[in-house]
Amino acid sequence: MEPSTILLLITICTVIVIDLSGIIDHIKQWIWKFTYRGKREYRDYELKPLDCSFCMNFWISLGYLIISGTWNLGLMTLSLFLSLMTTVIKDILMLIKAFCSKIIDVIYMWYIDE
């Protein structure tokens, strides 16, 4: 598989895990509970780079490029561009999900009417 394709797949996976799954919020709450042991009420905080899809995508992509031996300026620039586009990719994924849900609703209503 081409390194550019792998970078895109890394970005999509990073966006799904960081921005859409909610796992990072659970990790942050667990860290808060472990740290303060109920002595303080939970208050949201930043846990960079774990709660930043831009940051995580950049570091994971950089690690991939170095470990795979495919690092070059073009792929590094693509990695930075994909990191910048994580919010747009998140919106595109949510749009695809909403579109699929709407199609299922239409099919379901068509099926029920018959």
Contact 47, 98 (CB under 8 A): no
Percentage of the chain beyond pLDDT 70 is 99
pLDDT at 112 over 90: no
Angle at 64 between CA 73 and CA 89, to 5 degrees: 80
pLDDT digits (tens, 9 = 90+) for 33-64: 999 998 999 999 998 889 999 999 999 999 99
Give exposure, 68-102, as e/b (b: 16+ Cβ within 10 Å): eeeeeeebeebbeebbebbeebbeeeeeeeeeeee
Contact 76, 109 (CB under 8 A): no
What is the domain partition of the chain in residue ranges?
Answer: 3-87
The pLDDT of residue 114 is 67
CA 47 to chain centre: 15
DSSP secondary structure of 44-109: ----TTTT-HHHHHHHHHHHHHHHHT---HHHHHHHHHHHHTHHHHHHHHHHHHHHHHHHHHHHHH
* pTM of full prediction above 0.85: yes
pLDDT at 6 over 70: yes
